[in-house]
Amino acid sequence: MTNFAFRRHSRNPRAALLGAVAAVALGASLFGLAPARPALAEAPLAQLAPASGPASFADVVERVKGAVVAIKVKAVETPNNEGEEGPELSPDDPLYDFFRRFGQGRGGMPQKHITQSQGSGFIISADGYVVTNNHVVDHASEVEVVLDGGKTLPAKIIGTDKRTDLALLKINDGGNLPFVTWSNTAPRVGDWVIAVGNPFGLGGTVTAGIVSARGRDIGAGPYDDFLQIDAPVNRGNSGGPAFDTHGGVIGVNTAIYSPSGGSVGIGFAIPTEVAKDVVEALKEKGSVSRGWIGVQIQGVTQDLADSLGLKSTKGALVAQPVKGGPAESAGLKAGDVIVAVDGEKIDAPRELSRKIASAGPGKTVELAYLRGGVEKTARVKLGALPAEKELRADLGGVDRSNVLAGLGLEVQPAAQARRGGGEGLYITNIDPEGVAAQKGLRRGDVILEVGGQAVNDSGDLSSALEGARREGHRSVLLRVKSAEGTRFVALPVAAS
């Protein structure tokens, strides 16, 4: 398997390793005539010939190129050991220069330093509003915009939105700037796409390809709905526009899959239907307000569907309502599966996230959900989405000579471990090759319920598993609390 890196493609990208395997099979057909067989009918030539593309993109590029800009960013960074005290050294001390070389100045404190990076952007109004990526200007102390003719202007950050990776800047040139407009037509898979930007600092670079796919979820956030394009985009293209053949902006280039940082023909753009609304909100208020129902949700796997007695895996499973949140106030509980919002079906959790977010705070929506196989409805007044939190969980090994019921884990009462608020069973160790680990359980998780029943010691867990086996269930549903929140996990009872 080839390891690929998921990269935000500014000149200073943050990358996370992903895996992918690509294979293309080419086949050939042999045609011949046999005396006893009828001749094969030939398809009309017009049906066999591929549709021809435009003879040149030069006309559309000439119209839009002046509105595409390069973004130069200066940021102040501090070494990771910020706040760690070093030795108090005077300039006369022999070790003074040594500590300064490795980021520590007078008094042993880390020294801040200036970093520079580049990206792309595009002007959307004659008075100088510029769209780019949030990650291009994140932590910026100074932002400059370089126009197509080479003129450099200072830029003000009007607003940013981390959840969609968009930012809006403002420049002033004292006149009417060239600008481009959003496309009114969503592109189809197979449509031409033209990317213009500043890859590797080479401003005004034009590449072309097609829209390879729509609705891509690349794990960047809860509102992922990317266009996948094969027009080559590289580091420095971040924030640049993707155009259709009429010169309308169909997306904002934001990320690539690549083993080395260069283009391999898999790029991602934020579609206009997402970017347009976010940019308008940033222009009006400097931030984006999103609706919030106050639930932790997850997808419905086949194992979970079997455990819950569901006929389908569609919907968003409520792992935990936030205490005092809109959903809990409306009566929703853990284990409910939300299947529609205002009559519109929900197939997956990210669809629920997008619909609720776009509805906005203060709006009342009607949720349809399944509880015990019966569909119910609830009217929920949405709150405002709180600030984003970053959480991490730990992993560990296990002594295989002492595991619970063949699942590959060790537990102790959470009250005894003083974890998880004192409720449930704290997982102290887990076998990385065991069934529990394969289903996503980790050391540090707290098992709150098994089969809908609270568990407070290992005997409760063993009894619940044995009861599920006697009743002929293929799996049993665990409600688990971790650093990321609360979720459901279906464990096969045969393993226990």
- DSSP notation for 410-452: EEEEHHHHT-GGG-SEEEEEE-TTSHHHHTT--TT-EEEEETT
Q: Lowest mean pLDDT: which of 6-20, 51-65, 183-197?
A: 6-20
What are the domain boundaries of the chain?
1-19+58-288, 291-384, 409-495
pLDDT, mean over the chain:
79
Mean pLDDT is lowest, of 41-50, 210-219, 326-335, for 41-50
Alpha carbon separation from 45 to 42, 50, 107, 277, 392 (Å, rounded): 8, 10, 80, 45, 59
9 classed as catalytic: no
Q: Supply 51's token pair.
A: 């549709």
Q: What gap in Å lies between CA 293 and CA 452, rounded to an integer?
A: 23
Whether the per-residue pLDDT at 118 is higher than 80: the answer is yes
Identified catalytic residue from 10, 117, 135, 482: 135
β-partners of residue 211 are 229
Q: Tell me the average pLDDT across 323-334.
A: 91
Residue range 440-488, pLDDT digits in tens: 888 888 898 888 888 887 777 777 777 777 676 777 888 888 877 888 8
- The catalytically annotated residue of 165, 224, 336, 445 is 165
What tens digit of pLDDT does each residue of 221-242 get?
677 789 999 999 998 999 999 9
- Tell the CATH topology of 291-384: Pdz3 Domain (2.30.42)
Whether 125 is a known active-site residue: answer no
**Which candidate, 13, 71, 6, 16, places its Cα nearest to that of 235?**
13
Tens digit of pLDDT for each residue in 241-265?
Answer: 999 999 999 999 998 887 666 788 8
Residues paired with 226 in a beta bridge: 216
Which tokens in the block code for residue 38? Answer: 């009828």
Check if 260 is active-site.
Answer: no
CA 244 vs CA 48, 191, 272: distances in Å:
26, 8, 11
Q: What would the two tokens of residue 442 be? A: 């980790």
Residue 18 has pLDDT above 60, yes or no: no
Give the CA distances from residue 15 to residues 56, 261, 351, 394, in Å, rounded to whole numbers and listed in that order: 35, 9, 26, 21
Classify 406 as helix, strand or coil.
Answer: coil
Distance of CA 299 to the CA centre of its chain: 15
Which DSSP category does 332 fall into? -
C-alpha–C-alpha distance, residues 129 and 155, integer Å:
9
Q: Which of 183, 238, 482, 496 is catalytic?
A: 238
Under CATH, what is the fold of the domain 409-495? Answer: Pdz3 Domain (2.30.42)
Burial pattern 71-86, b for ≥16 Cβ within 10 A else e, equals bbbebeeeeeeeeeeb
With vertex at residue 44, the alpha carbon angle to CA 39 and CA 48, rounded to the nearest 5 degrees, is 105
- Tens of pLDDT, residue by residue over 388-404, are 543 222 223 333 333 35
* Contact criterion met (CB below 8 Å) for 239 and 232: no
Q: Specify whether the CB–CB gap between 87 and 102 falls below 8 A.
A: no
CATH of domain 1-19+58-288: 2.40.10.120
- 1-19+58-288 and 409-495 have identical folds: no
